[in-house]
Structure 1
């Protein structure tokens, strides 16, 4: 009799275990199906007229160097194609994610920084991309700052607008510090001072605005401010739910050498252990510089190369 009751209880436990396992299996299948559906929907909904990314930026393949143990260094480039033959590198950053220390660091490299571009001599930093794509930019950063970069990611500004509008359809909360107005043949920036929610186009205009006496200095600070605000949107519950569709919608505007496995691994670790804040450094502003006018180059940011190199390496340690 006791043996019969024991067998009955064991059978019930096995049945309950099978139900739990089946429940988890169905749950993960549904999650996977949702992610695939949302990603495909985002990809399908991407602007059909989008020109996509230039398949060739420079002739040399990106020779990424392995990042230090536990860290991942990524070259981040924001570009403005606008149908022009020569693509401009408008934003140059180094992103570092330290999985061991759970830290996220962001270095903004001001585009007018006067540096030695291998094979071309001293020019503005952003000239490296126009002359040789991401690989020459990597070589230039290694040559001048001694920082090894494993990956690169290029995003066209149309992609920035797309991902912001998908992740935050009601806009991203930003405090606009003053009235901003700028208009040319391509874009119009018209923002009023105060707390407000900016859509993708408005947020891009806010990040790129430099039509004042501070020029590129304040623009770099605004770019860092925008990325911190976007990080908060990404890790919110609604942001996570919209992320697969956002990744699909941005695909035509992004070029990277990061494989799917690397992206998923870093993305999963980031979402499970999201850093509280983003540590930032601006080169050469935070180290010291002087304005210099160079024949053939125009206004550049001259800096103490050794001090800049030491400051950047110390920050990324």
Structure 2
């Protein structure tokens, strides 16, 4: 009897081993595939820029309530230390709330830069890299930033072209051409990386930088939405690799993959946005000493708006 029972149970044990082996192969196969795709993306882009080769100090801190705040800086001079940041944003990811928020700070906002007196906020990067930008935001708006990412605009172009071979669908509200290197016509259309970047950077109209910030936020939202419209998750490791040579960041690739995976999922892709300064909370002023036109803002109103926006 014992011998017969043993013979009956043996095939089940064998099937269980095969099942475990298949899971093992799938797990490590996925990791291997992801790593291969990531390295392919890096090799595809690494000869085009040196922005990621620079080293910056950054003494960031995690948010008090478990949120991750990331300083996003856009540059167009391949990471030279003397360049000013063309785009300044704070991106927040809160895993417990599945929320994504984006704050754009106007580059002409007149702030106190620690150790350098009052100046436009975009001068902080030229004076002391992302660490000084972090200190400036902390002092003026009381926000803790854990990570930074300095993005070469050429990397944005490469990312869009790799992720969207047919272009990103977006509504261009007017004709645009001045100082962006291309000509854009109004209407709903698909833009490749070069034209989408030009759309996001255009500012030579009555709205100036305010219109540009609005378009930048619009582009980020549209890209996030259209990422989720098809199975992009399998391409994510390669996309991170494509961007890596164009990004100087203190984030690990695994952190980027983790946040990016949730962002492009259908349930979590909504991005809330805020622009600083708020309407009616600033005055246009001209400052001597080579500083020029600035936005002199009401710090209390804007700081309150930021904290309410992030808390909610």
TM-score computed with the length of structure 1 as normaliser: 0.90
Hey, what does 1:76 align to over in structure 2? 72
Measured in 1, the distance between the counterparts of 2:241 and 2:36 equals 10
Deviations 1:125-144 (A, max 9, x none): 10111111101101110111
Hey, what does 2:23 align to over in structure 1? 24
Check 1:49–1:99 CA distance in 2 against 1; reply closer, same or farther (3 A cut).
Answer: closer
Check 1:11–1:237 CA distance in 2 against 1; reply closer, same or farther (3 A cut).
Answer: farther
- Aligned Cα root-mean-square deviation (Å): 2.2
**Which structure 1 segments of 5+ residues have no match?**
none
Check 1:79–1:292 CA distance in 2 against 1; reply closer, same or farther (3 A cut).
Answer: same
Check 1:262–1:239 CA distance in 2 against 1; reply closer, same or farther (3 A cut).
Answer: closer
Q: 2:294 aligns with which of 294, 297, 300?
A: 300
Aligned with 1:28: secondary structure? Answer: helix
Check 1:262–1:38 CA distance in 2 against 1; reply closer, same or farther (3 A cut).
Answer: closer
Hey, what does 1:193 align to over in structure 2? 186
Check 1:22–1:284 CA distance in 2 against 1; reply closer, same or farther (3 A cut).
Answer: same
Is the Cα–Cα contact under 8 Å of residues 189 and 206 in structure 1 kept in the other structure? no
Shift of 1:274: 4.8
Q: 2:249 aligns with which of 250, 256, 260?
A: 256
Are 1:290 and 2:283 matched, yes or no?
A: yes
Measured in 1, the distance between the counterparts of 2:8 and 2:170 equals 59
Shift of 1:238: 3.4
Measured in 2, the distance between the counterparts of 1:75 and 1:9 equals 62
Shift of 1:53: 3.8
Is the Cα–Cα contact under 8 Å of residues 217 and 285 in structure 1 kept in the other structure? no
Are 1:229 and 2:225 matched, yes or no?
A: no
Return 227-236 or 113-122, whichever deviates more. Answer: 227-236
State how many pairs are aligned. 310
Hey, what does 2:94 align to over in structure 1? 98
Measured in 2, the distance between the counterparts of 1:199 and 1:259 equals 28
Deviations 1:65-104 (A, max 9, x none): 2222321011111111158673220110001101111111
Check 1:64–1:274 CA distance in 2 against 1; reply closer, same or farther (3 A cut).
Answer: farther
Check 1:225–1:146 CA distance in 2 against 1; reply closer, same or farther (3 A cut).
Answer: same
Check 1:286–1:107 CA distance in 2 against 1; reply closer, same or farther (3 A cut).
Answer: farther
Shift of 1:165: 1.0
Is the Cα–Cα contact under 8 Å of residues 117 and 123 in structure 1 kept in the other structure? yes
Shift of 1:258: 1.8
Measured in 2, the distance between the counterparts of 1:4 and 1:235 equals 56
Structure 1 segment 106-125 matched on structure 2, within 5 A: 106-125=102-121
Is the Cα–Cα contact under 8 Å of residues 111 and 120 in structure 2 kept in the other structure? yes
Q: 2:195 aligns with which of 192, 202, 215?
A: 202
**Which structure 2 segments of 5+ residues have no match?**
none
Is the Cα–Cα contact under 8 Å of residues 162 and 246 in structure 1 kept in the other structure? no
Return 252-261 or 165-174, whichever deviates more. Answer: 252-261
Return 267-276 or 248-257, whichever deviates more. Answer: 267-276
Is the Cα–Cα contact under 8 Å of residues 234 and 243 in structure 1 kept in the other structure? no
Shift of 1:236: 4.4
Deviations 1:133-187 (A, max 9, x none): 101101110111011111111111011111111111111111111111124xxx5
Measured in 1, the distance between the counterparts of 2:125 and 2:186 equals 34
Hey, what does 1:314 align to over in structure 2? 308
TM-score computed with the length of structure 2 as normaliser: 0.91
